[in-house]
Chains A and B, each alone.
Chain A
């Protein structure tokens, strides 16, 4: 995909202050009134012409949510969120289920082009790819603008391979039996406060089904964009890999620059059957707030994968540079015998950002393996915590975990913390944990500057070196983008 190249050019044009995706698209919206109650949920469900079982599922989630309290154990601080002061549905007006890109509002296409993803071009590239251009890796994209999926590309090519890639709203209409079977099967409705909220009000997201024995012919990608004011974004993603299937999925996100905080509470569920591989990569770049800590996205996300079949493998890779607050623990439930869970993470905080992120590896089956590689970079006045749980259950014979947590500090006003939870109920299990903390020294920066690098370039080089074991897990075209993103996120992090 040509996204990195476009972004590079874009970045050069937009040499303004730190957050380069802060613009707002002026488009007519269909917005439900503020507030959360059963009527709002009924309206959301009606707007999407959902079957009755879906509405009941939402209402059940809402009633569970009413009985729950927001989690307090994270090392993040924010004022209480007024859930009655948010809009729970906002959709660009002109599009009601576009059949092709021609029906999509040109303003939206412009927005995505500005962000570096041109949906139209992605479609054209499908043709190009067949002829000569080997450098271009085709990527199918599902773009979610505020609450609604606006376009999914490459549907035809994917359908030929038997792959289903569509918005979750479409899946509810077209694949109701799969949704009923799997939705909430990995992250139950009452799993946690934010997951319950999401289950009640989720508006869109992506659905992927890879049939038995199919290797998905291209990277699948969803691009999330929060545009409307005072709107929560609650997307729901469900990916199912049937026996012997393989899929790589990318997720990117940005939001306009605003003074107030915005809530993003997503749920992602992955289901991996026998001998499967699901690779899920995220480059999260929600608006982090301004330099004084005003505004920014609250990113409260539940991501979990179930390795149900033997020898299944789920790999989470995340580069987290945005959001005012990140609260996120992509996890693996290693149920199938010899299944593998991986978590590769780079979390960067600058300014007044707070991040409490990590993973959970629950070893249930025998001979299961998990690897955790978490790199934390803190700069400015930010605070970052790695929180990870490794649990070995009685049947997890000969299972192993390896965890490495490294923190890099830039400047004297930031914090980095590592909070590992290790629980073993099996004497044959092996658990290893390594942790380091280091700081970019003035001498290192001076050395690089003496060789002609600017201070920013020097930090970028050292940070990329620090993160490279994680970055190399990203699909190639995303790795380039992630490197640039790291550099931008850390701009102005030293005097």
Chain B
């Protein structure tokens, strides 16, 4: 099978200067493969390393990979800088997007889109055609028009920030998206809109990794597999029905089987 992402025995630590050796191990041997075109979900208790996994995959400078490998589209992902990973088609929808004071949202989005297009050998979008596209996509996400004029995430509500992440994803057209709790803090209507935004990207060549705590997102987005991440490792893989079981029973039954 053609894999978009293959993670093998991945060990990674967060850089922590308060510790003796400066490293706090988080991921302790993650194995995960995602075939092209599939949607995989990661669930797991708080502090199990879900967000850390998304940061390691996107190249956050606070993390250090200590062993293992990650292959993305047959390339060594760990050798690439964060912007190279973005250009290669990897997108991370942040759990808590940062604010960029003074940076106009439309200008930021256009710079991002054109950086990625340029890196992919595509022509850059001029301001007019970009704005036309951005306005249309914003409308699909029920995004008020003035959001494009405001500064990136500054003064955005939690829901607006999440929608801004999905808007960026729609504009950047990644081939692989990681959604880190994009559904958290959304009301029912916003959840549906965000899910539709994700679904609109679905194609045989689009794959995704969705980190969530809630079964309800999966009412809108149909996953191929659900993985349980606990204590820095994938401890169980199940089908779409696993989320319903977890909703009912919690993680206790699965955690009992894991040794530290």
Q: Report which A residues bind B (CB closer than 8 A).
A: 438, 441-444, 446-455, 457, 461-462, 464-468
> Which single residue of chain A is at the shortest CB-CB distance from B168?
A451
Docked complex Cα distance between A446 and B86 (Å): 11
> Which single residue of chain B is at the shortest CB-CB distance from A461?
B103
Contact A451 B86 (CB under 8 A): yes
Q: Check: B44 CB closer than 8 A to any chain A CB.
A: no
Nearest-neighbour CB distance to chain B for A397, whole angstroms, equals: 36
Q: Check: B97 CB closer than 8 A to any chain A CB.
A: yes
Say which residue of B60, B103, B108, B119 sits within 8 Å of A446 (CB atoms).
B60
**Is chain A's interface secondary structure helix, strand, loop, or mixed overall?**
helix
Q: Check: B6 CB closer than 8 A to any chain A CB.
A: no
Docked complex Cα distance between A334 and B121 (Å): 56
* Contact A450:B82 (CB < 8 A) given known A442-B62, A457-B115, A461-B111: yes
Contacts of A455 in B (CB 8 A): 83
Q: Check: B61 CB closer than 8 A to any chain A CB.
A: yes
Contact A449 B86 (CB under 8 A): yes
Nearest-neighbour CB distance to chain B for A330, whole angstroms, equals: 24
Contacts of B58 in A (CB 8 A): 450
A-B contact pairs, 6 of them (CB 8 A): A442-B61, A444-B98, A448-B112, A450-B58, A450-B91, A454-B115
Contacts of B148 in A (CB 8 A): none
Contacts of B217 in A (CB 8 A): none
> Which single residue of chain A is at the shortest CB-CB distance from B88?
A452
Q: A438, A447, A457 — which one has the most chain B CB atoms within 10 A of its CB? A: A447
Nearest-neighbour CB distance to chain A for B111, whole angstroms, equals: 6
CB-contacts of B155-173 with A (<8 A): 168, 172
Say which residue of A438, A447, A462, A465 sits within 8 Å of B97 (CB atoms).
A447
> Which single residue of chain A is at the shortest CB-CB distance from B151?
A465
Say which residue of B92, B102, B104, B107 sits within 8 Å of A450 (CB atoms).
B92
CB-contacts of B111-140 with A (<8 A): 111-113, 115-116, 119
Binary flags per residue of B87-103, CB closer than 8 Å to A gives 1, else 0 = 10001101001101111
* Contact A465:B102 (CB < 8 A) given known A447-B94, A452-B119: yes
Docked complex Cα distance between A60 and B61 (Å): 62
Q: Check: B203 CB closer than 8 A to any chain A CB.
A: no
Q: A448, A454, A467 — which one has the most chain B CB atoms within 10 A of its CB? A: A448
Docked complex Cα distance between A454 and B82 (Å): 8
* Contact A443:B115 (CB < 8 A) given known A454-B83, A461-B108, A462-B103: no
Say which residue of A448, A452, A467 sits within 8 Å of B100 (CB atoms).
A448
Docked complex Cα distance between A446 and B62 (Å): 10
* Contact A451:B172 (CB < 8 A) given known A442-B61, A446-B60, A461-B108: yes
Say which residue of B62, B104, B112 sits within 8 Å of A451 (CB atoms).
B112
Nearest-neighbour CB distance to chain B for A122, whole angstroms, equals: 28
Given contact pairs A452-B172, A455-B83, a sample of 13 additional A-B residue pairs in the complex whose CB atoms are under 8 Å apart: A438-B101, A442-B61, A447-B97, A447-B100, A450-B86, A452-B83, A452-B86, A452-B113, A453-B111, A461-B111, A462-B100, A462-B102, A468-B102
Contacts of B98 in A (CB 8 A): 441, 443-444, 447
Contacts of A441 in B (CB 8 A): 98
Docked complex Cα distance between A457 and B62 (Å): 20
Contact A446 B61 (CB under 8 A): yes
Contact A465 B103 (CB under 8 A): yes
Contacts of B92 in A (CB 8 A): 450
> Which single residue of chain A is at the shortest CB-CB distance from B97?
A447
Docked complex Cα distance between A118 and B112 (Å): 34
Contacts of A451 in B (CB 8 A): 86, 108, 112, 115-116, 168, 172
Contact A452 B108 (CB under 8 A): no
Q: B61, B82, B85, B119 — which one has the most chain A CB atoms within 10 A of its CB? A: B82
Contacts of A457 in B (CB 8 A): 111, 115
Say which residue of A442, A453, A464, A467 sits within 8 Å of B112 (CB atoms).
A453
* Contact A452:B102 (CB < 8 A) given known A446-B60, A446-B82, A461-B108: no
Docked complex Cα distance between A31 and B97 (Å): 60
Docked complex Cα distance between A87 and B72 (Å): 62
